[in-house]
Structure 1
Amino acid sequence: MKKTIQHLQKALDDLVSVNSLFTFAMFVGISFASSNVHSLELRSECQADKDTRMNLLVNEVVSFACFLLSSLVATALKMHLSTYLAVGPEIIQKFRNPCLSMLKNLMILVSTLGSILGCIYLTLSMVDVVRVLLGKLSCMRSDTIQAAGSLIAINVLALAIYVPFMMLAIYQSYFNLDKAQK
């Protein structure tokens, strides 16, 4: 039982660590939105407009909110597990309630979805950074298309790997914990 809880706490720690790393990247994007960075594109019609910079800022803020939600929920789950270890399974059994189990599962889902949505909005904001620095995508400049396309493709691949394994680790740990409680 203790090993299962420690495994789950490690998975939640990893989720919070990834969120922290992405939050740092988000602040880099905000610095591009707020500074007076000029585009490397010389044609004025291909330079990013004010709306692109606003969009960048909105995507950064939403990304931050998603990562914060995910991290706070994961931390709450970790605190619940620490309490479980401190109090002991005998006392917890007295308060066993199917609604609490559903709430834990919902919290896992919210934490994971928050991280996923944060990654998606961070990717969108990084595409906006590319648009600010290299020019509009509609101008079809090869550097801009390559940078944005690579960014999107690599992030989709990373999410396709990260999401199933993270969810599997967390859900298996909770399943084993629920099984051990019975």
Structure 2
Amino acid sequence: MATSIHITALDGVVNVNSLFTLAVFIGLAWNPRDPSNSLVSDPNCNPTSRMAEDLVAFHVYSFASFLFSSLIALGLKQAIRLNITASFHVPTRLEPVVYYVNKSVLRLGMLVSGVGSVCGCGFLMMALVNVVQIKVGTLACGSGHAYAAVIPLLILVPSALLIYASLVLYAFTR
């Protein structure tokens, strides 16, 4: 029972990471230097080249984090399945089927995978802040539209990450 729960949780991590990785690739396909992509009317609010560089860097960091997390989760899942297959034998009527899974390794792997997902979300959030600044104007310029887009992002994403990290730590201790 516990092993199937772990496999389901690892499947969830891989699926969510895949969706976020798709978002990263869509973000990387966007050209921040295309003038038709910008809605900035004030020349003083134009984004710097550093913002475009940070945008690409944060997308790459996010992709690396999601890939790391997914590979750890897939490796754990494969190890569980290989262990189940290797320990499977036809039991007699009274003998239960027992699978041996090293709980310490499983917990540590799930924790590391969770940390990779959290880091990926953080980098993706920072990339989105740069997207907003490139599209509607820099935050230093005081653009109301930029603040209207960034403030909910900076409140909701860290809140969700805090809840996720708390649940991962809770599951780690059980």
Asked if TM exceeds 0.5, the reply is yes
Q: Deviations over 1:46-74 (max 9, x none)?
A: 01121111100000000000000000000
What pairs with 1:7-156 in structure 2 (closer than 5 Å)? 7-33=5-31, 36-37=34-35, 38-88=37-87, 102-156=104-158
Aligned partner of 1:180 in structure 2 is none
TM-score, structure 1 normalization: 0.81
The number of residue pairs the alignment matches comes to 165
Q: Distance in 2 between matches of 1:158 and 1:41?
A: 30
| Whole-angstrom CA distance in 1 between matches of 2:41 and 2:29 | 22
Question: 1:23–1:67: 8 Å Cα contact kept in structure 2?
Answer: yes
| 1:161 corresponds to | 163
- Contact 2:111-2:168 within 8 A present in 1 as well: no
More helix per residue: 1
Asked if the contact 1:56/1:129 (under 8 Å) is kept, the reply is yes
Secondary structure of 2:154 counterpart? helix
Q: 8 Å contact 2:32–2:134 — kept in the other structure?
A: no
Aligned equivalents of 1:110, 1:161: Cα separation in 2: 17
- Once the two structures are TM-superposed, the CA of residue 158 in structure 1 deviates from its matched residue by 1.5
Identity across the alignment (%): 31
Q: Determine which structure has greater relative contact order: mean sequence separation of CA pairs < 8 Å that are 6+ residues apart, divided by chain length.
A: 1
TM-fit CA distance, 1:162: 2.2
After TM superposition, give the deviation of residue 155 of structure 1 in Å. 0.6
Q: 1:137 aligns to what SS in structure 2?
A: coil
Q: CA–CA distance in 2 between the matches of 1:40 and 1:114? A: 34
Give the whole-Å Cα distance in 2 for the aligned partners of 1:44 and 1:117: 34
Which sections of structure 1, spanning at least 5 residues, go unmatched?
Answer: 176-182
State the TM-score, normalized to the length of structure 2: 0.84
